[in-house]
Amino acid sequence: MKGKRQQKSGEKLKLWQQRLSQSNAAYSAEYTRMDQRERIYNGDDQLRPLVPGDTRRDGGPRKTSHVRNIVFENIETQVSSAIPQPKVTPRRREDEELAQRLEHFLRNELERLPFAQLNDLAERTVPIQGGVAFLVEWDNRSRTHDTVGTEVVRMLHPKQLAPQPGVFTSIQDMDWIIVKIPTTRDAIYREYGIWVEEDGESEPAVRGVDGVSSAEDALTRYVGYEKNAQGGVNRYCWVNDTPLEDLEDYQARRQPVCRQCGRVQPLPGQLIQQPAAPIQPGVEEQIQAQVAGQRLAQILAQETMAGGGGLDSIPVEPAPQEIPREYQGGACPWCGCGEFEDQVQAYEQVLLPMVTGKGLEVAGATPDLDQEGNPVLRPTLIPFYQPGVFPIVLQRSVSVYGQLLGNSDVDMIADQQNTINRLEQKIIDRLIKAGTRITLPDNASLRVDSQDGERWYIGSAADKAMIGVYDFKGDLEYELLYLSNVYEEARQILGITDSYQGRSDTTATSGKAKEFSAAQAAGRLESKRVMKHRAYADLFRMMFEFWLAYGDEPRPVTYRDAQGHTQYEEFNRYDFLERDQDGQYYWNDQFLFSVDTTDTLASNREAMWQETRQNLQTGAFGDPAATETLILFWTKMEQLHYPGAGETKQALEQRASREAQTPVGQEHIFAQGDSGNMPIEGTPE
């Protein structure tokens, strides 16, 4: 049996290695272009030959001593540090509160995860390579005092992808895909418990541009994903010729289960309840008494939390005298069997009754009899949620038919960069060669210095005629004109104007005209923003699905309400649990995910401050002199992080409280600003 498993494992390793070889062969030319794009972006000084023989004498490429990097300039112009914010729209009216809570939770996740770094790197990789990928994983090793597991999102360079050849529409349309992840021997041992003694890194190029040498302890871990016939996703991991992991339907819940009694293996350090007394007669009466007092349900719930579940019906042991014992590993603490196997858990057992946030009542374990008439408890079974998709989200630059990645800005203006490099070298050569030249006869040995009155003896008039002085000024009129034209040509290809770059724009004569000109340039780049927003919308949905599948414990959520006050709530996946008319439980994932399009304006705080002031002055908030209007104004300014807005709002709230306590008619007894305190007409002196 063991030999058959090893043979099957070897066949599967060969299958995945063959797939990797096919993908590398199909995308080898693209990987080469990726390195060339990175070199151009970093200021490559090599000149591409234009005609045969346009090389050095040894056949190597010519180089320039000066690089004006227009590729770097135009790509950096498009970089945006704004991270798209989630917008969740429910499909049903009763789910509006859930959608808002989910939106707040995703915003918290954006702050918890390193999205500032991921976005900064992706903003440059996308225009350089035409796309980038995000990998979503669940790390069950990350634990706190009251939570198990958390979500992890990492960015993948296109060189780290080995997609299925011939499929260009979407990653989700592929049958399989492989991810190349640089790692180390120690990291492999910590995660899989396998020490890899084979030769080192198989693909060091995935760690950077060409020239990356193989490190001693570095390895390349390959993670393959494939779709199975049941609609799930399988995962296979290996390093060189060493298999690391082979999971069928890896997104399903699985736990180590005892081969003999079928109970889940508890985690080391957890307390378990173990009976110390033999079973006595009178089982049914004791069951009823224990169930009535909920004592048995609590014991079984504790046991399940410790790992003692995994059965659709749990045998009842009468009058057990449990002694808590800490499990330190080894054989099964209930039956003594020393063999465990991973087993997919299709359903979750609910032993104690609970009520979800939407008011759904879920019954706990109920007493029943098995086929042999023995008393058992039937837990409520809830199906585990499975995403059923590849955990990879692709962000394209601009979609191109017949390509998995989008258009590369480097490819679009690579010719212009090469031309500018040549012109810059030509200009430098002409300037260096410019100056004064003196012609002399072949047999002349004349001094040429600043000494006055020096005598020159010329043999003949013909020799005298050969003496001359020539000035070379190095006229650069045409070179500079063409250099400017090539630079403008590169910007027009990408749709970038002077106003978009923040440069002086003579075509825009007013502030509004400059704003309109920048908006036009932004409109030409709208496709890249749309593709980024679409990628983040898919990423938000995938993050939600992973939390719905694996986030068992409630997680805290914080946000600011319309009044600017900090609110605290919880994200609980059980709030998304529903029950149909037939009594079957299912998970509600019917939400639409998109990106808040107002995020771009909201990220410009100074512009928002100005807009808010104008709204106050125009009376959009109400009477500008009223205290309530000022409180609303400073609440908005506090939300926009205006310095000192919170203290000002608190002072106005205290003023409003004093005004509410002042009797009516006593607010302005005396007019202020006149000499003395003069009685106001119509009020008592």
The C-alpha angle 633, 639, 643, rounded to 5 degrees, equals 85
Is position 70 within any domain? no
Between 87 and 272, name the one with better pLDDT: 87
Contact status, residue 130 vs residue 405, Cβ threshold 8 Å: yes
Same domain, 397 and 367: no
Question: Residue 46 carries which DSSP code?
Answer: B
- pLDDT top residue among 278 and 353: 353
50 CB-near residues (< 8 Å, 6+ apart) = none
Tokens of 21: 């070889």
Q: Show Cβ contacts of residue 317 under 8 Å, excluding neighbours closer than 6 positions.
A: 275, 279
Mean pLDDT along residues 146-154? 92
CA distance 438 to 451: 16
Q: How many helices (H) and strands (E) does the chain have?
A: 19, 27
Q: What local confidence, expressed as pLDDT, does residue 672 receive?
A: 44
- Do 135 and 232 sit in the same domain of this protein? yes
In this structure, the answer to whether residues 142 and 236 fall within a common structural domain is yes
* Nearest 10 degrees: Cα torsion 157, 547, 232, 143: 80
Residue 118 lies in a domain: no
Q: Where is the domain boundary, 509, 524, 539? A: 524
8 Å CB contact between 264 and 307: yes
* End-to-end alpha carbon distance in the chain: 108
> How many Cα atoms occupy the beta-carbon half-sphere of 330 within 13 Å?
8
CB 581 within 8 A of CB 574: no
pLDDT band at 591 (very low <50, low <70, confident <90, very high): very high
Three-class DSSP category at 332: coil
Cα(129)–Cα(124) distance, rounded to whole angstroms? 9
Q: What angle, rounded to 10 degrees, do the helices at 283-293 and 295-305 form?
A: 80
> Exposed, middle or buried: residue 590 (CB in 10 Å: 0-12, 13-18, 19+)?
exposed
For the chain, percent of residues with pLDDT exceeding 90: 41
Nearest-angstrom CA–CA distance, 70 and 409: 11
d(CA 203, CA 200): 9
Whether the per-residue pLDDT at 542 is higher than 90: the answer is yes
225 and 314 fall within a common domain: no
pLDDT of residue 395 exceeding 90: yes
Between 395-404, 462-471, 619-628, 640-649, the lowest mean confidence (pLDDT) is in 462-471
Our measurement of the distance from residue 677's CA atom to the centroid of its chain's CA atoms, rounded to an integer in Å, reads 66
Among candidate residues 490, 508, 524, the one where a domain is terminated:
524
Confidence of residue 200 (pLDDT cuts 50, 70, 90): confident
What is the widest separation between alpha-carbon atoms in the chain? 142
Q: Which amino acid is at 212?
A: V
266 and 139 co-located in one domain: no
Instruction: Give me the amino acid identity at 388.
Output: G
The verdict on 357 and 286 lying in the same domain is yes
Position 52 scores a pLDDT of: 75
Say if residues 176 and 164 touch (Cβ distance below 8 Å). yes
Domain limit, last residue, from 524, 556, 574 = 524
Q: List the domain range (segments joined by +) for residue 301.
A: 254-383
pTM tops 0.85, yes or no: no
Those residues with Cβ within 8 angstroms of residue 159's Cβ, 6 or more apart along the chain or in another chain: 31, 34, 180, 205, 206
Q: Positive or negative CA dihedral for 10, 11, 15, 16?
A: negative
Residue 279 and residue 277: Cα distance in Å, rounded?
Answer: 7
Distance from C-alpha of 340 to C-alpha of 263, rounded to nearest angstrom: 9
Residue listed under structure tokens 């910590």: 190
Does 438 lie in the same domain as 475?
yes
Alpha carbons 308 and 660: distance in angstroms, whole number: 62
DSSP states of 117-180: HHHHHHHHHHHHHSEEEEEEEEEEEEE-SS-EEEEEEEEE-GGGEEEPTT--S-GGGSSEEEEE
Mean pLDDT of the chain: 81
Count: domains in the chain:
5
Residues 325 and 357 in one domain: yes
Three state DSSP letters for 376-399:
EEECEEEECCCCCCCCEEEEECCC
Decide if pLDDT at 474 tops 90: no
pLDDT of residue 54: 75
Q: Is the torsion defined by CA of 285, 290, 292, 297 positive or negative?
A: negative
pLDDT at 158 over 90: yes
pLDDT in tens, 292-345: 444 444 444 444 444 444 456 666 555 444 556 777 778 888 788 888 888 888
CA distance 511 to 232: 56
Using 50, 70 and 90 to split pLDDT, how confident is the model at 683? very low
In 3D space, the residue among 354, 388, 386 whose CA is nearest the CA of residue 587 turns out to be: 386
In this structure, are residues 555 and 105 in contact, taking their beta carbons and an 8 Å threshold? Answer: yes
97 and 132 inside one domain: no
Torsion, Cα 105 106 112 116, to 10 degrees, reads -150
What are φ and ψ of residue 400, in 5° steps?
-130, 130
Looking at the chain, how many residues does it have?
Answer: 685
- Residues 28 and 140 placed together within one structural domain of the fold: yes
CA angle 522, 525, 526 (to 5 degrees): 85
Same domain, 663 and 540: no
50 part of a folded domain: no
Contact call for residues 531 and 396 (beta carbons, < 8 A): yes
Rounded to 10 deg, the angle between the 115-129 and 70-78 helix axes is 130
- Mean pLDDT score, 634-648: 83
Contacts for 55 with CB less than 8 Å, ≥ 6 apart: 49, 61, 62
Which residues sit opposite 224 in a β-bridge?
178, 236
Number of Cβ within 10 Å of residue 531's Cβ equals 19
Residue 355 lies in a domain: yes
Q: What pLDDT was estimated at residue 305?
A: 43
- pLDDT at position 324 is 63
Higher pLDDT, 27 or 474: 27
One domain for residues 138 and 220: yes
Q: Is residue 258 part of a domain?
A: yes
- Contact between 155 and 134 under an 8 Å Cβ cutoff? The reply is yes
The strand ranges marked E within 370-459 are 375-378, 380-383, 392-396, 435-439
Q: Residue 426 pLDDT more than 60? A: yes
Give the pLDDT of residue 599.
57
Q: What is the pLDDT of residue 669?
A: 46
| Contact of 479 with 430, CB cutoff 8 Å | yes
Count of C-beta atoms within a 10 Å radius of residue 271: 15
- Measured distance CA(380)–CA(312) in Å, rounded: 9
Lowest mean pLDDT of 311-315, 599-603, 674-678, name the range: 674-678
In a domain? residue 303: yes
- Could you tell me if residue 626 is inside a domain? yes
Could you give the CA distance from residue 226 to residue 175 in angstroms, rounded to a whole number? 6
Q: Is residue 597 part of a domain?
A: no
